[in-house]
Structure 1
Amino acid sequence: MLTHQFNPYSACTSILIGKNATADGSTMIGRNEDSKAAWAKKFVVHPHAEFDAPQTFQSHDQDHPFTMTLPKIRAKYTATPEWTPKFGLFEEDGINEHGVAMSATESAYCNARVLAADPYVQDGIGEEAMVTVTLPYITSAREGVERLGKIIETHGTYETNGILFSDTDEVWYMETGAGHYWVAQRIPDDAYAVVANQLAIQEVDYADHENFLYAKGIRDFVVNNQLASMANGLNFRDVFGTADLSDQHYNTPRVWYGQKYFTPEIEQDPESFDLPFIQRANRLIHIDEAQHYLASHYEGTPFDPVGGGTDAEKHTYRPISLAKTQESHVLQLRPDKPAGVRGIHWLAMGVAAESVYVPFYANVDTTPAAYQLATEKYDDQSAYWIYKLAGVLVDAHYHDLHALLNEVQKETTIKLGHHLIMTDQAIANTPAAELSAKLTQANEQAAKIALTAMQNLSAELITKSTDFSPLNYETDLNL
């Protein structure tokens, strides 16, 4: 994610997993939305709506006044917008009523020679609008790529991004380059990909329309501007992307760690510019393993910021989960479930390493009240701030208190997993007309489990922290 002009160094980490690479046959896309350490998020659901005339989208971002016409029919979809629309909506991630998931965006960078040939368009589309103008109007992952691609070709874009799409059958990763160009690759069903703020797609096969999509005229653009000969095809990463010293410390190590976790038998350099985009795991991947990666910070290596390495080692690479994460999500689509219960919007508010992933059914009428409340400053009724408080309290005395956090995370994750299993069983024969209400109630219960656990944890952390004051002194209890 690259949001708000006052925070130019924000970034995200993404994961995409094909249906035959997961333990239960589901597709998964996930991402850490990273921007500011205190920038609250909501979790909402927009109802299905049908209008008499086409609607108009107008960006709230005054620096990028993007506008476009929208269809008359808008599908229901979940989203995680920001506490204020002042700088844009930034709805970021969600699942719609047709069982399509979208996460946007993974911020990336385009090199100067490409931008010289096709500069950014200041009133084009950016991250803040992409979910809002795309997800409610698509019925498949492929259709999502095609719709957003057409918008970019028509209106242009003012930044470089990676966008994730999935349905129960396909997972797609799309990347924009320069003002009007883009490519997209289907993640093979037996593979996964992890992405970290670099253009990642490598060789584009123009003849393989089942697995690659791309902007009209991109081949001529590359050749006419002498960006590459195209004799051996197009390597999008090499031609459009960057490869500099900051990439080696900020970006590539996160990809290295993800591939080390899922494919440990392959030895690779964390600073290599040749890490593959598509990779195969040495096992079938479970939902908690996808979440574990997004919540990780180089555990088991000298580069863990809270580990046992030297001070220099601990600050060598930017970790996956960090204080500037606003929320982390994994969007899971389960083909073995009835259509109304396939979509699970796993959501960890705040820093994933210090939060819990709550399984929210996407086919609901509304979201829990605490998740709809997002404020600029701390509010003890806001889900975002409830999770952030626990993390801040742990951070103050990390090595004394993180074991307690880990214990609560484990216990809560078990309860939430059991709740999901029992709910799936309980609603198996629920009539379609009653299903959304049942799932809405189940989401309320899941939120209560997680929020109560975090509130109780914070109370215990505050109590334990009282004896860590620098004004403390060993005193005779009789005095």
Structure 2
Amino acid sequence: MSKHTCTMLLAGRKATIDGSTIVCREEDYGNAFDPQRFVFISPADQPRHYASKGSAFKLDLPVPQYGYTSTPDADDSAGIFGAGGINTANVAMTATETITSNPRIRALDPYNYKDGLGEEDFLTLVLPYISSARAGVQRLGQLLTRYGTYEANAIAFSDQREVWYFETLGGHHWAAVRVPDDQYVIAPNRLNIANFDFASAETMCAPDLQQLIDDNQLNPDPVGYNFRRIFGSASNQDRVYNNPRAWYVQQQLGGGRPDSQPGANDLPFACTPNHRLTIEAIKQVMSSHYQGTAYDPYHFAAKEEAPFRSIALNRNLELHVLQLRNNVPEPLVGVHWLAFGPNTFNALVPFYANVNDTPAAYRDTSKQYTPREMYWLVHTLAAVGDQHYRQVQPLVEQCADDVLAATRAVQRQVDHECASHASAAQLTAANNRLAEIATTKLTELLGKLVGVAFKNEHLQY
């Protein structure tokens, strides 16, 4: 099981306010620090002789065609874990979200623990070589069919027209579906694909997948193929850890069943939103902790466990919203929105993806605590703010809005200035301006939170 648990949200171009496609994932870890970096990998920096750290997998890679952004671990001793990024062909990929499986498929197609692929590998092996979302599905599918995997994962790809959601099934099998243009998907840590049509041009899968299901009596339904029931789980853990996250987002954005319960296993896979989605709406649900319900952890006493796992946690490492725009010149298409640290206390910044470097406060993350760096700054905000959440909530929310407003203003200006020509150097300089805004405003927020904490110290007389 991957340590990076995560939650994913995807949106087709007709489901968003400006016609962009969206691939979004917040990356989690265990209850410990795992510093993250934001980097641009040029073709010259891409490894050519690749070796996994989590298995004995090795592969000589072709000459890379594209550079790409990514958010790898600062400590690469366990692997790269590129997480998510946009390449210079304006294709986005996020990898991975840990999902569930069941003993029936694992007995037929065991995991390849010896020399299979895992989360640490996927982005590096795929994103530098693909010019479309469909090509990403095909390349990753071919790798998994040939080499196998040692864990259950979900991955997503997008280009300016299409968004694809991909799940591993057992050790060597997989399936992917295209997200409808006018719909969104919220995917917690379970197998999420429901009804699957093998004859559709909007699905892809391992070549022998239908035969595997039919020959081994894996399908509990007399008609159709529901992959969540065929390959997934329906455990008590799903009812408290996974399903409630999908339920809450569907209640907020629309398209879910109004009478559904948080623990329901049969929540829809793709939903039509009540309104076209904005970056702000996506950030709000990806920072959610069941606000407005009785399940909000902040309703409970310290150390008292809330009934359901929320999207926002102290274990959030980073949130990336990979936006591919359709109303701008090609160099401006890719926007790698990024926020490090726990989502309740961070702020999204719209970094251009077609660059040659990334801002130092996001790129040069130290393995040890250094509050000048964004990863550690947001963790400091969370450590202080969580202890006084009701008092500081307005300050935190206002700061996140202020960062969005200020960085959107810069983005609007740069879009206008670079409408006829945008070089990687220009966009790199713009990203440095965006990072400086976020660093300044979040540092100012930290000062305000320390002031609140100081006034609430017990040692007063």
Q: Could you state the TM-score of these two structures normalised by the residue count of structure 1?
A: 0.92
| Partner SS state of residue 144, structure 2 | helix
Q: State the one-letter code of the partner of 1:96.
A: N
Give the drift of 1:231. 5.6
Secondary structure of 2:297 counterpart = coil
Relative to structure 1, the CA distance from residue 358 to residue 279 in structure 2 (aligned partners, 3 Å threshold; closer, same or farther) is same
Task: Tell whether the 8 Å contact from 1:303 to 1:313 is kept in structure 2 after alignment.
Answer: no
Match among 34, 54, 60 for residue 53 of structure 2: 60
Q: Distance in 2 between matches of 1:380 and 1:317?
A: 31
What SS does the aligned partner of 2:298 have?
Answer: coil
Q: Provide the aligned C-alpha RMSD in A.
A: 1.9
Give how far 1:66 is off.
1.9
Q: How does 1:14-93 map to 2 (within 5 A)?
A: 14-36=8-30, 37-49=32-44, 55-61=48-54, 64-93=55-84
Can you list the C-alpha shifts for 1:326-381, whole angstroms capped at 9, x where unaligned?
00111000011111010000001001111000100000010011111223321123
Matched, 1:99 2:94: no
| Alignment CA distance shift 1:303-1:314 (3 Å) | farther
The equivalent residue for 1:7 is none
Q: Measure how far apart 1:467 and its partner are.
A: 2.6
> Residues of 2 paired with 1:461 and 1:315: CA distance?
25
Q: Which moved more, 1:417-426 or 1:123-132?
A: 417-426
- What per-residue deviation string (whole Å, max 9, x for no partner) do you get for residues 437-478 of structure 1? 1100110000000011111221232233223222222xxxxx
Structure 2 spans left out of the alignment, 5+ residues = none
One-letter amino acid of the counterpart of residue 162, structure 1: A
Q: Partners in 2 of 1:80 and 1:458 — Cα distance?
A: 24
Q: Which residue does the alignment assign to 2:344?
A: 353
In the alignment, structure 1 segments of 5+ residues that lack a partner are 5-9, 474-479
Q: Percent identity?
A: 38
What is the match of residue 477 of structure 1? none
Distance between the aligned counterparts of 1:39 and 1:25, measured in 2?
Answer: 34
Whether contact under 8 Å (2:257, 2:267) holds in the other structure is no
2:405 aligned with 1:411, yes or no?
no
Q: Secondary structure at the match of 2:78?
A: coil
Instruction: Check if 1:12 corresponds to 2:6.
Output: yes
Aligned pair partner of 2:456 in 439, 448, 468? 468
What letter is aligned with 2:343? A
Q: Which of 262, 266, 278 pairs up with 2:253?
A: 262
TM superposition shift of 1:422: 1.4
1:445 to 428, 433, 451: 433
Give the whole-Å Cα distance in 2 for the aligned partners of 1:425 and 1:130: 35
- Aligned residue for 1:204, secondary structure, equals coil
Shift of 1:311: 8.7
SS of the residue corresponding to residue 384 of structure 1 reads: helix
Give the 3-state SS of the residue equivalent to 1:251 in structure 2: helix
| CA deviation profile, 1:155-210 (whole Å, cap 9, x unmatched) | 000001110110000000000010001000000001111000111111211111x2
2:412 corresponding residue in structure 1: 421
Q: Structure 1's 313 and 185: CA in aligned 2 closer, same or farther, altered over 3 A?
A: farther
Report the equivalent of 2:446. 458
Superimposed CA distance per residue, residues 221-260 of structure 1 (whole angstroms, 9 cap, x where no aligned partner):
1222221278633221111100010100000000001110
Partner of 1:111: 102
Output the amino acid matched with 1:17. A
Note if contact 1:17-1:193 (Cα within 8 Å) is conserved in structure 2: yes
- Residue 290 of structure 2 corresponds to 298
SS in 2 for 1:94: strand
Partner Cα distance (1:316, 1:280) in 2: 28
Task: For 2:369 and 2:311, locate their aligned partners in 1 and report how far apart those are by CA, in whole Å.
Answer: 25
